């Protein structure tokens, strides 16, 4: 039995056959032709590659679609294309020209400081590899699995996972890779267990004896012995019983033992996750992170956004949806919009970014005001820190209303606007922000913890602040709750604390009756609330 330790990239435990994925295969040895002919071959290959990426985009789920949209946009990137054209003009064949340009381009991206952007180098390589494989006549679906298997490789491209699909992929184990890579993100959204950073040695081993991928503990066992197999079987059965028990909770109302109704809403980023959350029993969407619709680098038009919000309302099936206006900046960088900043989390982010791009902001507000006639929609504004921030945002809402009236377009005059409480300042000044007209508060605990403790949410060395007790945050939330109660404004808590059953119970005892969490945590939170009697004193 061989045990390898890596890092969990997507949770779960699976056992089954193990198959090795090799990324490069023999290509077509082709004579290089004239630069004009090579450029023409390249253009045709790019058209085909974009078509394949469009199909992968259709097959992907939720925000995973954006990954393939990004790759498609990448293939049109003028800088990359100039680089490829220069190699072809110098006499290189189209395939080596793409390979060389992709390496240089990806290398430049990898040299940056931002981890999220660095991870996009993999997307550049993935998109360019597709073009090269077309030019070289190689198959683009890297592996056909006949039975559901654990896939092992040096690394995985996002398209590897989507191309093989959920049914055949039990889990993935990679020698390299990172938790933030798009392949890992896709594995998480598709519910495929994944372990990265296992080191290369396991790839040399005989896989005939199958394997156990214990992603929960970041480990891969090859040639498992009888005891390891039995242990895995026992845990897999236990996990599936728990999953079924939790799924059965989804349909019923969320009432604590003393009969208090607590609304469990979802945190989502698009219609697909809204649908999933509704299936898990969410009573609506408390946070729709609209910025994920533009992370691929193109801001959709007002019309496209309008239909995007309608799709979200439709997926929610008549339940309320709170859309947050774009929270761009910090780790959510958008090519062409975000700039280098010495300290991006404290720089141009959220409302500040929207105020700096008034046309983009007003187009989004117009789309939301229009969508507000089609269902129970309300709008929250991110990173409001002061009443002045709020009033500036409302000036743009007023401008958007005037523009729609001028255009004679129907919109919801009564659409409600509220704000996120994500900074200590917003919690301290909540009475003033509410007095300025803010109708509801959505407390974002991820950022509230980050800014209260000066603990970077992207730096795993400080994860204790996010999983720990957070007394300072509780005190700030208490202030915001008091202000909201005095103003008669509803409050919803989202972010990391809304996914923690213990924290939710704590806030419920403080009087909070609404939480927005990821669909994956919703049932665990619900199971805990159903067991709780809020009239009894809390356990010490
Ligand atoms: C939060 O800060 O808690 C939140 C929900 O917003 P985001 O995680 O998108 O910053
Ligand atoms: Mg936030």
Please check the confidence at residue 425 and state whether its pLDDT lies above 90. Answer: yes
Position in ligand 1 atom list of the atom nearest CA 442: 5
Which of 328-337, 343-352, 501-510, 525-534 shows the lowest mean pLDDT across its residues?
Answer: 328-337
β-pairing, 194-196 vs 7-10, is: antiparallel
Give residue 145's pLDDT band: very low, low, confident or very high (50, 70, 90): confident
Which one of the ligands is nearest to 499 CA?
1
Shortest-distance Cα residue to atom 9 of ligand 1: 289
- The arrangement of strands across the sheet holding 18-20 comes to 7-10, 194-196, 169-174, 149-153, 18-20
Q: Are 215 and 13 in contact (CB under 8 A)?
A: yes
The sign of the dihedral angle between the CA atoms of 278, 283, 284, 286 is: negative
Give distance in angstroms: CA of 21 to centre of ligand 2: 38
Give residue 330's pLDDT band: very low, low, confident or very high (50, 70, 90): confident
Which of 292, 330, 446 for a ligand 1 pocket mutation test, highest count of atoms within 8 Å of Cβ? Answer: 446
**pLDDT score, position 140:** 63
β-pairing, 219-222 vs 211-214, is: antiparallel
Q: In sequence order, what DSSP letters do the residues of 195-264 get, joined into one string? A: EE---SGGGGS--TT-EEEEGGGTEEEES--HHHHHHHHHHHHHHHHHHHHHHHHTTS--B-TT--B-EE
Shortest-distance Cα residue to atom 3 of ligand 1: 444
**How confident is the model over 477-501, as pLDDT tens digits?**
999 999 999 999 999 999 999 999 9
If one compares 283 and 160, the residue with the highest pLDDT of the two is 283
- Kindly tell me the burial class for residue 291, based on how many C-beta atoms sit within 10 Å of its own C-beta (0-12, 13-18, 19 or more): buried
Q: Establish whether residue 422 lines the binding site of ligand 1, counting it when its CB lies within 6 angstroms of any ligand atom.
A: yes
The phi-psi region of residue 398 (left if phi > 0; otherwise alpha if psi is between -120 and 50; otherwise beta) is alpha
**How confident is the model over 55-64, as pLDDT tens digits?**
888 888 777 7
Please check the confidence at residue 141 and state whether its pLDDT lies above 70. Answer: no
Position in ligand 1 atom list of the atom nearest CA 445: 3
Return the bridge partners of 18, or none. 150
Nearest-CA neighbor of 381 among 368, 390, 391?
Answer: 390
Rounded to whole angstroms, the Cα distance separating 520 from 485 reads 30
Q: Establish whether residue 457 lines the binding site of ligand 1, counting it when its CB lies within 6 angstroms of any ligand atom.
A: no
What percent of the chain is predicted at pLDDT more than 70? 95
Give residue 414's pLDDT band: very low, low, confident or very high (50, 70, 90): very high
Residue length of the chain: 540
Q: Establish whether residue 445 lines the binding site of ligand 1, counting it when its CB lies within 6 angstroms of any ligand atom.
A: yes
Give distance in angstroms: CA of 458 to centre of ligand 1: 12
Rounded to whole angstroms, the Cα distance separating 142 from 160 reads 7
Q: Establish whether residue 188 lines the binding site of ligand 1, counting it when its CB lies within 6 angstroms of any ligand atom.
A: no
Which of 494, 504, 516 for a ligand 1 pocket mutation test, highest count of atoms within 8 Å of Cβ? Answer: 494
- Kindly tell me the burial class for residue 309, based on how many C-beta atoms sit within 10 Å of its own C-beta (0-12, 13-18, 19 or more): buried
If one compares 190 and 132, the residue with the highest pLDDT of the two is 132
Give distance in angstroms: CA of 95 to centre of ligand 2: 43
Return the bridge partners of 377, or none. 321
Rounded to whole angstroms, the Cα distance separating 402 from 405 reads 5
**How confident is the model over 80-130, as pLDDT tens digits?**
889 899 999 988 889 989 999 898 888 888 887 777 777 788 888 889 988
If one compares 372 and 52, the residue with the highest pLDDT of the two is 372
- Angle made by CA atoms 330, 10, 71, in degrees to the nearest 5: 55
Shortest-distance Cα residue to atom 6 of ligand 1: 444
Q: Which tokens hold the place of 503?
A: 């924290």
Give residue 296's pLDDT band: very low, low, confident or very high (50, 70, 90): low
Q: Looking at 128, 182, 219, 438, which residue is catalytic?
A: 182
Give distance in angstroms: CA of 276 to centre of ligand 2: 22
Give distance in angstroms: CA of 496 to centre of ligand 2: 10
Shortest-distance Cα residue to atom 4 of ligand 1: 444
Give Cβ neighbours of residue 456 (< 8 Å, ≥ 6 apart). 345, 450, 462
Which of 75-79, 143-147, 264-268 shows the lowest mean pLDDT across its residues?
Answer: 143-147
Give distance in angstroms: CA of 422 to centre of ligand 2: 6
Which one of the ligands is nearest to 326 CA?
1
**pLDDT score, position 428:** 98
Which of 448, 495, 515 for a ligand 1 pocket mutation test, highest count of atoms within 8 Å of Cβ? Answer: 495
Which of 325, 420, 476 for a ligand 1 pocket mutation test, highest count of atoms within 8 Å of Cβ? Answer: 420
Q: Establish whether residue 444 lines the binding site of ligand 1, counting it when its CB lies within 6 angstroms of any ligand atom.
A: yes
Catalytic residue check, 494: yes
Give distance in angstroms: CA of 2 to centre of ligand 2: 42
Please check the confidence at residue 27 and state whether its pLDDT lies above 60. Answer: no
Q: What is the mean pLDDT of the chain?
A: 89
Return the bridge partners of 5, or none. 219
Rounded to whole angstroms, the Cα distance separating 202 from 197 reads 11
Please check the confidence at residue 333 and state whether its pLDDT lies above 70. Answer: yes
Which one of the ligands is nearest to 442 CA?
1
Position in ligand 1 atom list of the atom nearest CA 291: 9
Q: Establish whether residue 499 lines the binding site of ligand 1, counting it when its CB lies within 6 angstroms of any ligand atom.
A: no
Q: Which CB contacts under 8 angstroms, 24+ apart, belong to 160-169? A: 160/21, 161/186, 161/187, 161/190, 161/192, 162/56, 162/59, 162/60, 162/64, 162/68, 162/186, 163/56, 165/59, 166/190, 166/191, 166/192, 169/145
Shortest-distance Cα residue to atom 1 of ligand 1: 444
If one compares 367 and 111, the residue with the highest pLDDT of the two is 367
Q: Looking at 366, 438, 494, 514, which residue is catalytic?
A: 494
Q: Establish whether residue 327 lines the binding site of ligand 1, counting it when its CB lies within 6 angstroms of any ligand atom.
A: yes
Give distance in angstroms: CA of 494 to centre of ligand 1: 7
């Amino acid at each position: 039995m061989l045990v390898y330790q890596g890092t969990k990239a997507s949770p779960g435990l699976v056992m089954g056959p193990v198959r090795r994925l090799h990324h490069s295969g023999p290509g077509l040895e082709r004579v290089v032709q004239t630069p004009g002919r090579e450029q023409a071959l390249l253009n045709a290959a790019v058209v085909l590659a974009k078509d394949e990426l469009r199909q992968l985009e259709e097959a992907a789920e939720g925000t995973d679609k954006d990954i393939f949209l990004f790759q498609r946009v990448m293939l049109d990137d003028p800088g990359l294309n100039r680089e490829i054209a220069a190699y072809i003009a110098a006499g290189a064949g189209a395939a080596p020209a793409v390979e060389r340009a992709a390496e240089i381009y990806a290398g430049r991206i990898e040299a940056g400081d931002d981890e999220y952007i660095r991870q996009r180098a993999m997307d550049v390589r993935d998109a360019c590899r597709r073009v090269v494989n077309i030019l070289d006549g190689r198959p683009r679906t890297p592996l056909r699995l006949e039975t559901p298997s654990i896939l092992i490789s040096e690394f995985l491209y996002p398209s590897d996972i989507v191309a093989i699909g959920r049914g055949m992929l039990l889990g993935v184990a990679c020698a390299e890779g990172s938790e933030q890579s798009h392949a890992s993100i896709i594995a998480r959204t598709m519910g495929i267990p994944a372990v990265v950073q296992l080191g290369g040695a396991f790839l040399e081993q005989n896989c005939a004896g199958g394997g156990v991928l214990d992603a929960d503990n970041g480990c891969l066992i090859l040639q498992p012995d009888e005891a390891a197999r039995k242990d895995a079987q026992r845990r897999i059965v236990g996990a599936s019983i728990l999953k079924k028990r939790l799924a059965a909770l989804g349909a019923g109302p969320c009432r604590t033992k003393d009969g208090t109704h607590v609304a469990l809403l979802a945190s989502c980023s698009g219609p697909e996750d809204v649908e999933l959350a509704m299936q898990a029993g969410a009573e609506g969407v408390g946070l729709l992170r609209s910025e994920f619709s533009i992370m691929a680098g193109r801001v959709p038009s007002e019309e496209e956004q309008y239909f995007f919000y309608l799709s979200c309302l439709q997926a929610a099936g008549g339940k309320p949806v709170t859309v947050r206006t774009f929270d761009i900046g910090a780790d959510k960088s958008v090519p062409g919009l975000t700039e280098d900043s010495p300290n991006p989390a404290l720089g141009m982010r959220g409302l500040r970014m929207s105020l700096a791009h008034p046309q983009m902001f007003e187009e989004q507000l117009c789309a939301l005001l229009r969508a507000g006639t089609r269902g129970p929609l309300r709008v929250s504004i991110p990173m409001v820190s002061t009443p002045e921030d709020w009033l500036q945002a409302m000036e743009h809402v007023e401008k958007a209303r005037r523009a729609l009236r001028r255009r004679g377009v129907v919109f919801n005059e009564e659409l409600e606007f509220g704000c996120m409480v994500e900074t200590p300042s917003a919690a301290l000044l909540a009475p003033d922000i509410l007095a300025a007209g803010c109708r509801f508060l959505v407390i974002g605990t991820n950022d509230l913890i980050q800014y209260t403790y000066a603990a970077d949410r992207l730096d795993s060395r400080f994860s204790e602040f996010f999983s720990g007790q957070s007394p300072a945050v509780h005190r700030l939330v208490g202030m915001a709750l008091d202000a909201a109660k005095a103003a008669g404004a509803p409050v919803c808590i989202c972010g990391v604390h809304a996914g923690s059953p213990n924290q939710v119970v704590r806030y419920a005892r403080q009087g909070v009756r609404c939480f927005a969490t990821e669909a994956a945590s919703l049932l665990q939170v619900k199971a805990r609330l159903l067991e709780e009697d809020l009239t009894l004193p809390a356990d010490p």
